[in-house]
Amino acid sequence: MEKIFVQGREKLYGSVEISGMKNSALPIIFASVLVKGESIIENVPIVSDVHNSLKILSEMGADVKYEDLHTVRICTDNIGIEKINMGLVSKMRASSYLMGVLLARFGKVRIVYPGGCNFGHRPIDEHLKGFSQIGAECIEKNGFVEITTNKKLKSGEIILDKISVGATINMILASALTDGKTVIRNTAREPHVDDVIYYLNRCGTNIKRHNDVIIVYGSSSLYGARYRIFPDMIEALTYISCVGVTKGAIEIKNIRTSHLRSLLPLFEYMGMDIYSANKKAINVRSMIKLCGSHVRTMPYPGFPTDFHPQFSSLLCYTNGGGSVDETIFPGRFAYVNELKKMGGKLEKTDSKVFIMPSYLYGAEIDATDLRAGAGLVVASLGAEGESTVNNVGYILRGYEDMVGKLSSLGAIIKII
């Protein structure tokens, strides 16, 4: 099993290129099921969740090929719903997007429950309630979800009771081929939701957003197009926390500064110097011991839950420490015990963790999910001595070449 080895305490300097957004690439890859002809998707990150999503579609009969390292050409004209790889479906949360696209295209879908990071119970009730509001029948039986509609899905209104990225995207996917106007209320505003909207609009839909309301004017015939996905804002935040623990100065390139606008003031408040050379890059200098802070995870543009573990690692290296109140995934604390193995002083209560200033030293630690793994790499970069992070597979699910990018910034890090 591969591990990441880190020799801590090397300052970071230089520039790092951010890859495409994993949580955009996945729904857009599945959305290609809705369009006729070829979709050419650019800026696709090289991560295992992308590989598995493409594998699911190609096993269903899609024609998938790479134009270059980060550009994939997908044609789903000949896919069928008989050969769905349930093993892969049960590994990833994003496979839930198969529900929306297959329902829209074939009027029926039968799959196992989607998998994904283990944060405890991750229901899909909002997805199913949404599908029912546009005329579908949903049955959950023997570990399968069966969704059918004996006539065309109807346009109309969908009200989501909870702000859910996945359910919002699935409602857009399910109504994209429906002629007429579908209004979706209480939607998630994460940039990756808008990325899906822009891709589908490039293929022929007319989808508009007004704050948390999305209006879909669907079309029964969508055609493949070339589309470049957004850069990964969570990856960018992860590199900011890296230089925060090691000290140094880095340029973070190929980002959208607008996606980070609500968070950069937090880092400046903590003591980093951040200036944006242009809309696509920022320079981050961290030379002094930072002061701590208290945050609460919220839907976008609030503090992202996918930056929770990395931020906890950063807080270990601050004056005063702080806390993270996790309101999205109360079970997202598996990293706490691993930081304690490194000497971290953390106290978890209900859905909140308090982090006291800690002196971290290298240790053998276990990644338990994608962002927890990234958080442990962040902690290891600032720790005294050597660390070994196990279960690298979790990190490779969502970070392209994290080891290569960090070593190009001067970190002593390698995969063993």
Give the residue, chosen from 16, 165, 193, 411, that forms a contact with ligand EPZ under the rule CB under 6 A. Answer: 165
Of 386, 408, 385, 404, whose CA–CA distance to 396 is shortest? 404
Task: Return d(Cα 259, Cα 192) in angstroms, integer.
Answer: 10
Q: For ligand EPZ, how many residues bind (rule: CB under 6 A)?
A: 25
Q: Does 167 bind ligand EPZ (CB under 6 A)?
A: yes
Instruction: Name which of 10 and 49 has its Cβ closer to ligand EPZ.
Output: 49
Q: Does 94 bind ligand EPZ (CB under 6 A)?
A: yes
Give the residue, chosen from 33, 346, 370, 379, that forms a contact with ligand EPZ under the rule CB under 6 A. Answer: 370
Residue nearest to ligand EPZ (CB): 166
Task: Return d(Cα 184, Cα 196) in angstroms, integer.
Answer: 15
Place of tokens 């390698």: 414
Of 407, 34, 374, whose CA–CA distance to 204 is shortest? 34
Give the residue, chosen from 194, 235, 306, 326, that forms a contact with ligand EPZ under the rule CB under 6 A. Answer: 306
- DSSP calls for 121-146: ----HHHHHHHHHTT-EEEEETTEEE
117 counts as catalytic: yes
Give the residue, chosen from 16, 111, 126, 336, that forms a contact with ligand EPZ under the rule CB under 6 A. Answer: 126
Question: Active site residue: 75, 117, 138, 242, which one?
Answer: 117
Q: Does 166 bind ligand EPZ (CB under 6 A)?
A: yes
Q: Does 399 bind ligand EPZ (CB under 6 A)?
A: no
Place of tokens 């309301």: 213
Helix axes 125-133, 97-106, angle to 10 degrees: 20
Task: Return d(Cα 168, Cα 166) in angstroms, integer.
Answer: 5
Residues numbered 244 to 303 that lie near ligand EPZ (CB under 6 A) are none
Task: Return d(Cα 148, Cα 365) in angstroms, integer.
Answer: 45
Q: Does 398 bind ligand EPZ (CB under 6 A)?
A: yes
DSSP state of 60: T
C-alpha pair distances (Å), 121 with each of 308, 398, 402: 18, 21, 29
Task: Return d(Cα 329, Cα 351) in angstroms, integer.
Answer: 8
Residue 157 burial (C-beta neighbours within 10 Å; 0-12, 13-18, 19+): exposed
Site pattern 8..47 for ligand EPZ (x: CB under 6 A): ---------------x--x---------------------
Nearest approach in angstroms of CB 188 to ligand EPZ is: 6
Nearest approach in angstroms of CB 181 to ligand EPZ is: 24
Nearest approach in angstroms of CB 376 to ligand EPZ is: 14
Give 74's strand partners. Answer: 39, 64
Quick one: CA torsion of 212, 217, 220, 225, rounded to 10 degrees?
-70
Nearest approach in angstroms of CB 223 to ligand EPZ is: 26
Instruction: Name which of 315 and 372 has its Cβ closer to ligand EPZ.
Output: 372
Place of tokens 């000497």: 343
Nearest approach in angstroms of CB 372 to ligand EPZ is: 9
Residues belonging to the chain: 416
Nearest approach in angstroms of CB 26 to ligand EPZ is: 6
Q: Does 122 bind ligand EPZ (CB under 6 A)?
A: yes
Q: Does 127 bind ligand EPZ (CB under 6 A)?
A: yes
Q: Does 328 bind ligand EPZ (CB under 6 A)?
A: yes
Give 291's strand partners. Answer: 319
Q: Does 93 bind ligand EPZ (CB under 6 A)?
A: yes
Q: Does 373 bind ligand EPZ (CB under 6 A)?
A: no
> Among all residues, which ones are annotated catalytic?
117
- Note the residues at the interface with ligand EPZ (CB under 6 A): 23, 26, 93-94, 117, 122-127, 162, 164-167, 188, 190, 305-306, 328-329, 370-371, 398
